[in-house]
Amino acid sequence: MLALAVAGAVVVMRRLADQAALPFQSPGVGVVDVRGVIADSDDVVETLKRFRESDSIAAVVMRVESPGGAVGPAQEIYRAVRKLRESKPVVASLGNLAASGGYYIASACHPIVANPGTLTGSIGVIMSVRNVAELVEWAGIHETVIKSVPYKDIANPMRALTPEEQGILQRMVDDVHGQFVSAVAVGRGMPEATVREVADGRLYSGAQALNVGLVDELGGYEDAVAIAARAAGVQGEPRTIRVRPGRRMWWADWIGGAFGLKPSEWMVAPLPDGLQFLYLGAGTDLR
């Protein structure tokens, strides 16, 4: 009970602290960080909603440092950014890596600012299906599957995919890829045919992305903040309000320590196992 009371009090204090970060001064530029593999959208979407409703926020910078991740969360953040853009300027600032799902989110912003050496693009969808049939056969493991419909155990790692199953999955991947292309086309104001020409999964440097129309300007984080401030008519040096979703509180060490765990071992939610689509850049290790 004490732990729950303390945790609840800290949550309230955090809410008040976040509100206090938006003082009644001249409107500033809100900064939203999208970092690491995208496995969840709740914190980012909530922050975007608060920034949209706050009179203290004149514009927003999405700072993207991500190789991508799960499709659903990337799409939810994309829609939240598009909604925010209806009332306030939203500028994307691409860090070292803003690929696949990271670029998906950035494409909802305008303009997109990238460093010349930023790695971005990787527009595509990937699904990996493991096949450990030979291993389990060697180990003498046998499985009996009882199912009501033919494709209920599709992508079962205990056996190889049938040609029909591979066709089903390929069509779904192609469909989700088409959603990616359409989202970029809408966000960037580009014809879908033009987006498809560069949507073959390859990575681009920031300079290359500028040449093919995937980014608008070359520059860093401070440049993006200045661009957002100008677009919102903020005078002078812009004030920034940064909310880091999922930031660690002091009680994380206390609770985790009671069970001999580090916060990174119980607070970080990795992508779940199982069949899923990923907007994920090549070479990213989720394990």
Helix (H, G, I), strand (E, B), or coil: what is residue 177? helix
- Told to judge if 88 belongs to the known catalytic residues of this protein, a careful annotator would answer no
pLDDT digits (tens, 9 = 90+) for 141-151: 888 899 999 99
Q: What is the mean pLDDT of the chain?
A: 82
Q: Would you state the pLDDT for residue 28?
A: 92
Q: Which of 41, 66, 93, 100 is catalytic?
A: 100
Residue 243's pLDDT band, with cuts at 50, 70 and 90, is: confident
Mean pLDDT over 152-157 rounds to 90
In the chain, how long is the greatest CA-to-CA distance? 72
- Report yes or no: 22 and 54 within 8 Å, Cβ to Cβ: yes
174-224 pLDDT tens trace: 999 999 999 999 999 999 999 999 999 999 999 999 999 999 999 999 999
- In this structure, what are the phi and psi dihedrals at residue 156, rounded to the nearest 5 degrees? -60, 120
Is 152 in the active site? yes
Confidence of residue 257 (pLDDT cuts 50, 70, 90): low
What value does the mean pLDDT take over residues 243-268?
A: 50
pLDDT score for 256: 52
Q: Taking 70 as the threshold, does the pLDDT of residue 59 lie above it?
A: yes
Is the pLDDT at 36 greater than 80? The verdict is: yes
φ, ψ of residue 38 to 5 degrees: the values are: -85, 105
What pLDDT is attached to residue 261? 52
Q: Note the pLDDT of residue 27.
A: 85
Q: How confident is the model at residue 1 (pLDDT cuts 50, 70, 90)?
A: very low
- pLDDT tops 80 at residue 57: yes
Three-state secondary structure call for residue 126 = strand
pLDDT of residue 174: 95
Question: What structural domains and CATH numbers belong to the chain?
Answer: 2-123+199-280 (3.90.226.10)
Mean pLDDT across 19-44: 80
Q: What is the mean pLDDT of residues 156-175?
A: 93
Q: How many residues does the chain have?
A: 287
- Cβ count within 10 A of residue 50: 15
The single residue of 49, 152, 262, 264 carrying the catalytic annotation is 152
pLDDT (0 to 100) of residue 22: 43
* pTM to 2 decimal places: 0.78
